């Protein structure tokens, strides 16, 4: 006789014994057995749906616990409570999928009607792949046997990998084309030189604006002698060390220029750079834009 319960044929006596055991176990777990087969099927379907919901709920709770746990603590607790690590991470994968999908896809009946094992397989797919499946695709997958389902999931994964490789190849080709076609000059200057000139003008405006603002704060800190001395010293220490670091980096940059090009080519009023009209307009527009962005951030912070 086959040991597979799905294929096993029971004699009337064995059926009676099995029924008695089921009813006894039902009493232990507070399960009220349905009166008919139809009612039993309805109950099982509801329980399957609830199992999916419970799995998603568990996943969300696991995610929350893991986000508030120190490194290694989550796995340690799983072992302590005797929870298989695979079960916890499968539940989290399902929850992550539902969290990442748009609301319309989450509410798709075919997706919600999948059994737990199929849903876990779906959760291992890239979210973009699941999003691309319509209702008919999901229903078709749901109707497949577990073996056929896994074959289709494998195909979807391979297709996603292939598309990723094609996308990467296309991006590389476009980037190479951009580099080949990139202009070599701007304002009749080499591109690097033009960018350095424009950005030096723009970024120095932000540094000056920020420095002016902070000089005002330092003046207030120095004159507010009614504040707690320790607090004032703390503010002074912070300002000193942070701005000293910036000063040192600026000094290193300027010394690097002086060593490379010679101080005689850099210092003095006669060495102040001159901008062509179109270069000046672009640099000024970029400077004003960066200042506006900076001031907007200051206003938002206040």
Convert the pLDDT of each residue in 238-255 to its tens digit. Answer: 999 989 988 999 899 989
Separation of alpha carbons 273 and 100, rounded Å: 53
Separation of alpha carbons 251 and 244, rounded Å: 10
Which pLDDT score is estimated for 37? 83
Which pLDDT score is estimated for 183? 64
CA pseudo-torsion sign 244, 245, 250, 251: positive
Torsion of CA 186, 190, 196, 197, to 10 degrees: -60
79, containing H or E segment:
helix 73-80
Q: Are 133 and 159 in contact (CB under 8 A)?
A: no
Which pLDDT score is estimated for 154? 83
- Residues of the chain where predicted confidence (pLDDT) is lower than 50: 1-8
Separation of alpha carbons 32 and 22, rounded Å: 11
Q: Does residue 48 sit in helix, strand or coil?
A: helix
Which pLDDT score is estimated for 186? 75
Separation of alpha carbons 155 and 140, rounded Å: 14
Span 240-294, pLDDT tens digits: 998 998 899 989 998 999 999 898 888 888 888 888 888 888 888 888 887 887 7
Kindly report the pTM of this predicted structure. 0.38
Which pLDDT score is estimated for 297? 67
CA angle 164–89–86, rounded 5-degree value: 110
Which pLDDT score is estimated for 27? 64
With CA atoms as reference, report the closest residue to 267 among 277, 278, 257, 279.
257
Separation of alpha carbons 186 and 280, rounded Å: 12
Q: Are 287 and 209 in contact (CB under 8 A)?
A: no
Q: Are 112 and 49 in contact (CB under 8 A)?
A: yes
**Tokens, residue 245:** 């670091």
């Amino acid at each position: 006789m086959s040991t597979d319960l799905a294929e096993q044929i029971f004699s009337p006596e064995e059926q009676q014994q099995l029924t008695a055991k089921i009813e006894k176990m039902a009493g232990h777990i507070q399960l009220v057995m349905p009166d008919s087969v139809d009612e039993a099927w309805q109950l099982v379907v509801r329980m399957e749906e609830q199992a999916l919901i419970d799995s998603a709920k568990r996943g969300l709770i696991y995610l929350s616990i893991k986000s508030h746990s120190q490194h290694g603590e989550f796995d340690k607790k799983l072992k302590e409570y005797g929870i298989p690590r695979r079960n916890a991470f499968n539940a989290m994968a399902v929850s992550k999928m539902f969290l990442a999908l748009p609301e319309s896809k989450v509410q798709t009946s075919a997706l919600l009607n999948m059994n737990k094992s199929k849903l876990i397989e779906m959760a291992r797919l890239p979210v973009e792949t699941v999003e691309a499946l319509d209702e008919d695709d999901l229903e078709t997958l749901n109707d497949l046997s577990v073996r056929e389902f896994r074959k289709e999931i494998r195909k979807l994964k391979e297709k996603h990998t292939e598309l990723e490789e094609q996308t990467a190849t296309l991006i590389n080709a476009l980037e190479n084309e951009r580099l080949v076609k990139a202009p070599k000059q701007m304002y009749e200057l080499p591109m690097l030189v033009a960018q350095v000139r424009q950005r030096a003008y723009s970024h120095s405006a932000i540094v000056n604006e920020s420095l002016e603002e902070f000089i005002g704060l330092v003046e207030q800190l120095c004159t507010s002698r009614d504040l707690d001395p320790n607090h004032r010293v703390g503010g002074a220490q912070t300002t000193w060390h942070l701005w000293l670091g910036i000063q040192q980096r600026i000094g290193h940059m300027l010394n690097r220029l002086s060593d490379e090009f010679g101080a005689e080519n850099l210092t003095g009023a006669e060495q102040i750079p001159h901008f062509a009209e179109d270069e000046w307009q672009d640099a000024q527009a970029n400077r004003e834009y960066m200042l506006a962005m900076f001031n907007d951030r200051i206003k938002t912070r206040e």
